[in-house]
Structure 1
Amino acid sequence: MEYGRRRQLLRARGRNVAWVPPLLLLVGIVLLDLNTTERFRIITWIVLVPGTAAAICGVWTTAVFALLAVVTYVVVDSAWPGQYQAGLGDFVLVALAGTLAVVACAVRLRKERQTLHIQDIAETTRRTVLRPLPPRWAGLEHAGVYLAADVEARVGGDFYDIQPGLHGTRLFVGDVQGKGLGAVETAAALLGTFREAGYHEKDLATVADRLETRMLRHRRHTTALGRDDGDRFATAVLIGFPEDSPETIEVVNFGHEAPLAVGPRGVRELPSGDGLPLGFGELGGGLPPVHRVPFAADETLLLVTDGVTEARDRRGGFYPLADELGPAVAAGAGPADPWLLVRTIRDGVLRHCDGRLVDDTTVFAVRRIRQAAGEDDQDDEGGRLRF
């Protein structure tokens, strides 16, 4: 996207009107100076005009206002009798202020370009780590939102992905400890392993083992590079949708927030984090077990990171997730729409903390696509899921 189309400028009916405030200020100073007595000469205030333009206009517009301020100063000051004129000293002040305003405007625009470039890099990184997913993918319908605590960076350590494979569809949601590029790099390493293992491996326990191994390898590598990542870990939930059991799912929880099954019969909590986070498996004597739990066709799976459950209001109160879900789930209304759930939780969290996120926040909802009789799943090909 071109820089000129992305700048935050004052616009009215699609047209740039950033030049209006400095022009009104110029006219106001002139009129006030000409309609007051010699005891209230304010023509020198015209130095504010190029300064205002520098804050909201482009370089050439600022230069025009700087020149216009100098010319206007000379004309208006000359209209007064000699003994009341501001004189050469103020003229130099106005000219110098205009010059500095042009320089300041150029510096501001350069910083804005650099900021937008950094944001473009962050957005590209985010889309690489959290690859875009079709709304209906691998037999699942889903919706997700990711809110970075650092609004400018727009990228952090939360992650999620869906991977269709040879043995069913797998879902991976998690949160890397820490912030910054180190957390992003760790999330990318885990997602890369998940996409390969989730596609090829038959047993979900094997996928979990591959993820644990990848986390340990990544930590050893970053430590060897001299970085302080030796104790980094990640909480995560690994979920499998077995092809041979459409009424159940498999869950491996690495110390993450418990997934919620939301349906017409209410909200129920699936197995909580009975295992240690990824990277700490050796401390707990092994990996967390694989739980096979019922999951009805009319239920929607809701997963959130601790940015949701630990969001606080001004009084320090945590976000009441269970209370927010109640109005969104009407008894007997059928399966909860993933986007409705995600939107409800997102808006509720932002409202609860007044938009001041202290941690990266991810909300992800998914449900099986229910096919009509005789209708083939568009994601199936010869009994195997495409990718």
Structure 2
Amino acid sequence: MEYGRRRQGWRAHGRNFAWLVPLLLLVGIALADFNTGEQFRIVSWIVLVPGTAAAICGVWTTAAFSVVSVVTYVAVDSAWPDQYRAGFADFVLVAVGGLLATLAAAVRVRRERQTLHIQDIAETTRRTVLRPLPSRWAGLEHAGVYLAADEDARVGGDFYDIQPSPHGARVLVGDVQGKGLGAVETAAALLGTFREAGYHEADLVTVAERLETRMLRHRLHTTALGRDDGDRFATAVLIGFPGDTPGMIEVVNFGHEPPLAVGPHGVRELPSGDGVPLGFAELADGVPPVHRVPLTADETLLLVTDGVTEARDAPGCFYPLAREIDRAVMADPRGAEPRRLVRRVRDDVLRHCGGRLDDDTTAFAVRRMTKTTGEAPEGGRLRT
């Protein structure tokens, strides 16, 4: 294709070989016509050549094959005696078929360009929400991977971020109910509040309260605009890494998947989602409590969204996250490193569900930096 991004399936060593398919078909039909009897002429089948080009080549390539097909038809048909020629009717068929194929290629290319443009917008939107983070940031080493269930849209409600502050680093991982740009907008609103409150507020409870308030305000705003967002909510885990207590972390869980502490001695589950999701604090006694739990220097926090734990295989069994990670770490303690950890989760989930994701899938691993902590080579987010 002569535009933008080309189909990788027809490329080798940087070159596009899609044109070989209609060319081989053209040659094959011409040779076959010479080797069949006069009672079975197949030269008119050459109309398939521009049609095939329209499906896999660009507009100008398709137009070129349309012209070449007409010229080849005339040359091949003229080689037969007059009484055995296919005639003018088949010539018109080949010519009109080439014209229609060129028009079809133009429509396809235009739609593919529009799709690529939409994907670029979606990717830009997602990168705006999930801002790039240095691999070593705010005294933490981290890695994250995001897989969208809708590969064409590549947007969803999963989010994560790290916010350095005078009170220690803060981490937020969450999942907005629903999909599409509405979920992305909600995630952006929550992340904006987290980045401000996470920096200024000394108490993690206050940060949690600010997130709850932001969720309510955002919901009221979208509802006033006439959108059907009145019941939208978000699950999330808010983590604080206090600078004065390096062996402890603070955890506020808004009904989210419980974090896992992964170390060379195995996997242990941190406090579960004992609170209600963001947007539902009025149904409980306020925001969830803050849990102070130990986290040793050789342990990595693994936070995932439900796209990981609810991934199903063919018989319908859920992916056993803790068991699989525990097995991997016991076999190789280096598997607790953030980049290795999220890569393992990504590969295992895709293998478990056969590559068919029913929900957006996010895995985020983070640990305190130490003098022996190595730096990830390409930044915190894995390329998928």
Counterpart position of 2:381: none
Counterpart position of 2:323: 323
How many aligned residue pairs are there? 372
Counterpart position of 2:134: 134
**CA 1:139/1:6 → structure 2, altered by over 3 Å: closer, same or farther?**
farther
Counterpart residue type for residue 318 of structure 1: F
- Quote the offset at 1:57 in angstroms: 1.6
Counterpart position of 1:41: 41
Give the secondary-structure state (helix, strand or coil) at the position aligned to 1:213: helix
**CA 1:312/1:298 → structure 2, altered by over 3 Å: closer, same or farther?**
same
2:328/2:335 contact within 8 Å kept: no
> Percent same amino acid at aligned positions?
78
- Once residues 24 and 31 of structure 1 are traced to their aligned partners in structure 2, the CA distance between those partners, rounded to angstroms, is 11
Counterpart position of 1:371: 371
Gaps (5+ residues) in structure 2? 376-384
Counterpart position of 2:276: 276
Counterpart position of 2:75: 75
Give the secondary-structure state (helix, strand or coil) at the position aligned to 1:246: coil
Counterpart position of 1:252: 252
2:156/2:179 contact within 8 Å kept: yes
Q: Is residue 343 of structure 2 the alignment partner of residue 343 of structure 1?
A: yes
Counterpart residue type for residue 103 of structure 1: L
Give the secondary-structure state (helix, strand or coil) at the position aligned to 2:336: coil
TM-score w.r.t. the length of structure 2 is 0.94
- Once residues 371 and 6 of structure 2 are traced to their aligned partners in structure 1, the CA distance between those partners, rounded to angstroms, is 43
**CA 1:8/1:336 → structure 2, altered by over 3 Å: closer, same or farther?**
closer
- Quote the offset at 1:55 in angstroms: 1.4
**CA 1:370/1:357 → structure 2, altered by over 3 Å: closer, same or farther?**
same
Q: Is residue 188 of structure 2 the alignment partner of residue 194 of structure 1?
A: no
Counterpart residue type for residue 322 of structure 1: A
- Quote the offset at 1:326 in angstroms: 2.5
Counterpart position of 1:226: 226
Deviation string, structure 1 residues 174-198 (Cα, Å, up to 9, x no partner): 0000111111100000000000000
**CA 1:147/1:332 → structure 2, altered by over 3 Å: closer, same or farther?**
closer
Deviation string, structure 1 residues 324-351 (Cα, Å, up to 9, x no partner): 1123213794782111110111111000
Give the secondary-structure state (helix, strand or coil) at the position aligned to 1:21: helix
Gaps (5+ residues) in structure 1? 373-377, 379-387
- Once residues 197 and 288 of structure 1 are traced to their aligned partners in structure 2, the CA distance between those partners, rounded to angstroms, is 17
Counterpart position of 1:298: 298
**CA 1:22/1:122 → structure 2, altered by over 3 Å: closer, same or farther?**
same
Deviation string, structure 1 residues 345-364 (Cα, Å, up to 9, x no partner): 11110001111000000000
Counterpart position of 1:381: none
- Once residues 57 and 20 of structure 2 are traced to their aligned partners in structure 1, the CA distance between those partners, rounded to angstroms, is 10
Q: Is residue 377 of structure 2 the alignment partner of residue 360 of structure 1?
A: no
- Once residues 86 and 206 of structure 1 are traced to their aligned partners in structure 2, the CA distance between those partners, rounded to angstroms, is 84
2:335/2:341 contact within 8 Å kept: no
Deviation string, structure 1 residues 145-202 (Cα, Å, up to 9, x no partner): 0001000111100000000012110000000001111111000000000000001000
TM-score w.r.t. the length of structure 1 is 0.93
- Once residues 126 and 56 of structure 2 are traced to their aligned partners in structure 1, the CA distance between those partners, rounded to angstroms, is 30
Counterpart position of 2:146: 146
1:9/1:56 contact within 8 Å kept: no
- Once residues 215 and 28 of structure 1 are traced to their aligned partners in structure 2, the CA distance between those partners, rounded to angstroms, is 64
Counterpart residue type for residue 162 of structure 2: I
Which runs of structure 1 show a deviation greater than 6 angstroms over 4 or more consecutive aligned residues? none
- Once residues 256 and 5 of structure 2 are traced to their aligned partners in structure 1, the CA distance between those partners, rounded to angstroms, is 41
- Once residues 39 and 313 of structure 1 are traced to their aligned partners in structure 2, the CA distance between those partners, rounded to angstroms, is 56
- Once residues 309 and 284 of structure 2 are traced to their aligned partners in structure 1, the CA distance between those partners, rounded to angstroms, is 25
Give the secondary-structure state (helix, strand or coil) at the position aligned to 1:4: coil
- Quote the offset at 1:3 in angstroms: 4.6
- Quote the offset at 1:49 in angstroms: 0.6
**CA 1:197/1:6 → structure 2, altered by over 3 Å: closer, same or farther?**
farther
Give the secondary-structure state (helix, strand or coil) at the position aligned to 2:24: helix
CA RMSD, aligned part only?
A: 1.6
Matches within 5 A, 1:93-132: 93-132=93-132
Q: Is residue 24 of structure 2 the alignment partner of residue 24 of structure 1?
A: yes
Counterpart residue type for residue 220 of structure 1: L
Give the secondary-structure state (helix, strand or coil) at the position aligned to 1:40: coil
Counterpart residue type for residue 134 of structure 1: P
Deviation string, structure 1 residues 2-58 (Cα, Å, up to 9, x no partner): 953445462233222222111111010000000110222111110011111111222
Counterpart residue type for residue 297 of structure 2: A
Counterpart residue type for residue 235 of structure 2: T
